[in-house]
Chains A and B, each alone.
Chain A
Amino acid sequence: MRRLTDDENAVSISIGFILTFSITVLVLVTILTSFYSLMDQAEQTVMRDEYEIHGNDIAVKITTIDTMAGNAIRSGSDIGEIRYSLSLPEKIAGQTYSIEFSNTTNDIVFASEDRDETRVKIPFSTEDTTVLPTTLYSSKSEYSIVYNPDARTIEIS
């Protein structure tokens, strides 16, 4: 038994060195790869939450315009103009994104460029007006939500 533990016959320095070195490199690479996927996960969570916040902001503004318009229509007042100026960041988590308004499903859909996992749908509700369906791109960064009294529609551009 003692001979086994003290036996250094098969020990070769260069192979020992190569083995240690390659194992170290492998472990390093694995850890670095896992870093990147963790970061990716965190980024996606951030994007989804930010989209929800901005989407809710837009939905509240749409509902406010709808309430004001409905109120005016019922009392017989004429509305000259209702306009909201909206400012959204150009890039969220380093990626540009698109905002789509759909009046068939009454949803605002936020999607970043290539990832499907970061699509977020925020519902909005209008009673007396309709929102014209459109798609906006985040590079514009300054938008306006305008009410058109003749057609009773809300246009976002």
Chain B
Amino acid sequence: MPDKAKSGLKTDPSAQMHTLEAVIAAMIMVGIIIFAVQATSLTPLTSSTANAHIEAQLQTMGQDMLSALSYSSYGQDSQLKEDIMNWDGKEYVWNGSTYRSTNNQNKTTLNSSFTDILTQIAVPRGIAHNVHFSWVADNGIVMDKSYIYNGDPSDNAVMISKKVVLSDTDVGNTSDFIAATSIPDADSSTGFYNIVNVKMTLWRM
């Protein structure tokens, strides 16, 4: 028998072993691929945790900042309302030490409660910020004007908004206010002026 086993390729009985081994190897490979595919379908594939945590942190920080600004003690206007009323309509940019306006002539610096709180909290932590004031015009279109602009936000940016009611007596001279900020009087027959939505966008650089 050993002699027959040592004969050439055509009568080589070890071909059965070869085939069996090939088939089993193939089955193992297929089994592994099936397991791998089935295992990955167990995972929920959504955006990464790290990003979500950063967003939650920025959201909480921003909400706290705006809540602090919109606090009004008995009989006083909130600091947020005062900032809106003292706004001269220009857009300001942080240049490393102060907020300078972006118009061509007569550049001014901005000094308001908003800038105080931002320089205290957002700037030392390297959090970039944009602030917009937006309102709904008579025709239903949402108008937006930029107060502080520091570039376009990145992917994990968070926007926090707070709404403020303005009355005719708060605004004072309506024509001056409209000329500066272009926020119109929603109803001239009542003392109600308009509602301004303060939107602050925060993102990490």
Report if A and B touch in the complex (beta carbons < 8 A): yes
Residues of B within 8 A of A32 (CB): 31
A13 and B5 CA atoms in complex are apart in Å by 9
- B34-42, B131-139, B166-174 - the one binding chain A: B34-42
List residues 16-47 of chain B with CB under 8 A from any CB of chain A: 16-17, 20-21, 24, 27-28, 31, 35, 38-39, 42-44
- A16-24, A72-80, A104-112, A115-123 - the one binding chain B: A16-24
Closest to A94 in B: B42
Closest to A12 in B: B1
Question: Is A1 in the interface zone, CB < 8 Å from B?
Answer: no
Question: Is B191 in the interface zone, CB < 8 Å from A?
Answer: no
Question: Is B151 in the interface zone, CB < 8 Å from A?
Answer: no
A114 and B21 CA atoms in complex are apart in Å by 40
Closest to A6 in B: B2
Question: In the complex where A13-B5, A17-B16, A35-B35 touch, is A43 in contact with B42 (Cβ < 8 A)?
Answer: yes
From residue A63, how far is it (CB to closest CB) to chain B in Å? Answer: 15
Contact count band on B: 10 to 19
Could you say which of A8, A21, A43 contacts B20, with CB atoms under 8 Å apart? A21
Question: In the complex where A8-B2, A35-B31, A35-B35 touch, is A24 in contact with B42 (Cβ < 8 A)?
Answer: no
Residues of B within 8 A of A43 (CB): 42
Question: Is A28 in the interface zone, CB < 8 Å from B?
Answer: yes
Contact in complex: B39, A39 (CB < 8 Å): yes
From residue A42, how far is it (CB to closest CB) to chain B in Å? Answer: 6
Chain B 167-194 near chain A by CB (<8 Å), digits 1 or 0: 0000000000000000000000000000
Question: Is A31 in the interface zone, CB < 8 Å from B?
Answer: yes
Question: Is A46 in the interface zone, CB < 8 Å from B?
Answer: yes
From residue A150, how far is it (CB to closest CB) to chain B in Å? Answer: 31
Chain A 74-88 near chain B by CB (<8 Å), digits 1 or 0: 000000000000000
Contact in complex: A42, B20 (CB < 8 Å): no
Question: In the complex where A11-B2, A13-B5 touch, is A46 in contact with B31 (Cβ < 8 A)?
Answer: no
Interface residues of A (CB under 8 A from B): 8, 11, 13, 17, 20-21, 24, 28, 31-32, 35, 39, 42-43, 46, 50, 93
Those 5 A-B pairs whose CB atoms lie nearest each other, nearest first? A8-B2, A35-B35, A46-B42, A24-B24, A43-B42
Known A35-B31, A46-B43, A93-B42; further 20 A-B contacts with Cβ < 8 A: A8-B2, A11-B2, A13-B1, A17-B16, A17-B17, A20-B17, A20-B20, A21-B20, A24-B20, A24-B21, A28-B28, A31-B28, A31-B31, A35-B35, A39-B35, A39-B39, A42-B42, A43-B42, A46-B42, A50-B44
Contacts A/B (CB < 8 Å), 14 sampled: A11-B2, A13-B1, A17-B16, A17-B17, A20-B17, A20-B20, A31-B31, A32-B31, A35-B31, A39-B35, A42-B42, A46-B43, A50-B44, A93-B42
